[in-house]
């Protein structure tokens, strides 16, 4: 059993029972969680920004940083474990996308991330079956590879499930 910890712009997968895939302190960032029941593989990407066109150099070193390249990179990695890259073979869940330090809605990064992610998922014929998006608090997301259970936590709040 190990923890697979993902930082901003990172993505990872596991199909090892007992593993936990986790990312911390999602503010406007969004965790895209993909679960493949066929292979019992869990994948997650920690998306920071909606579009890669603002920094094409960063895409080369950290494609997970952007919604439009991160989901594609995660799907490609999951296909190496026997997961189908298109269609109904995935369970998709989303968490994050909060409005943090943007009281005047100047940037709306959280909302823009969520919309961009949904657009990319749609391109692959995928949609989220559950989401915990928006609000004004950060989230830490943990996914159990054994059970597929997703636990969310935030300072000052009790843990909850997605």
User: Following DSSP, what letter does each residue of 133-153 receive, concatenated?
Assistant: E-SSS-EEEEEETTT--EEEE
Q: Determine contact, residues 161/152, Cβ cutoff 8 Å.
A: yes
Of 24, 110, 36, 35, whose CA–CA distance to 67 is shortest?
110
Can you give the pLDDT of all 162 residues of the chain as single tens digits?
799 999 999 999 999 999 999 999 999 999 999 999 989 999 999 999 898 887 777 778 888 999 999 999 999 999 999 887 666 689 999 999 998 876 666 678 889 999 999 999 999 889 999 999 999 999 999 999 999 999 999 999 999 999
Domains and CATH numbers, the chain: 3-161 (3.30.1330.200)
Q: How far is CA 42 from CA 67, 88, 106, in A?
A: 18, 15, 35
pTM exceeds cut of 0.85: yes
DSSP 8-class letter at 89: S
Beta bridge partners of 5: 22
């Amino acid at each position: 059993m190990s923890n697979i910890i993902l930082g901003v712009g990172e993505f990872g997968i596991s199909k090892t029972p007992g593993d936990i895939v986790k990312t911390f302190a999602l503010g406007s960032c969004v965790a895209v969680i993909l679960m493949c029941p066929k292979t019992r593989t869990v994948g997650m990407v920690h998306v920071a920004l909606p579009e890669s066109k603002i920094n094409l150099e960063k895409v080369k070193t950290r494609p997970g940083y952007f919604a439009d390249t991160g989901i594609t990179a995660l799907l490609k990695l999951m296909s190496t474990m026997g997961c189908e890259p298109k269609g109904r073979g995935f369970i998709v869940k989303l968490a994050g996308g909060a409005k943090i330090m943007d009281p005047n809605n100047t940037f709306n990064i959280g909302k823009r991330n969520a919309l961009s992610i949904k657009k990319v998922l749609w391109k692959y014929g995928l949609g989220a079956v559950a989401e915990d998006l928006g609000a004004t608090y950060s989230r830490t997301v943990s996914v159990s590879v054994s059970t597929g259970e997703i636990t969310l936590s935030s300072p000052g709040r009790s843990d909850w499930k997605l």
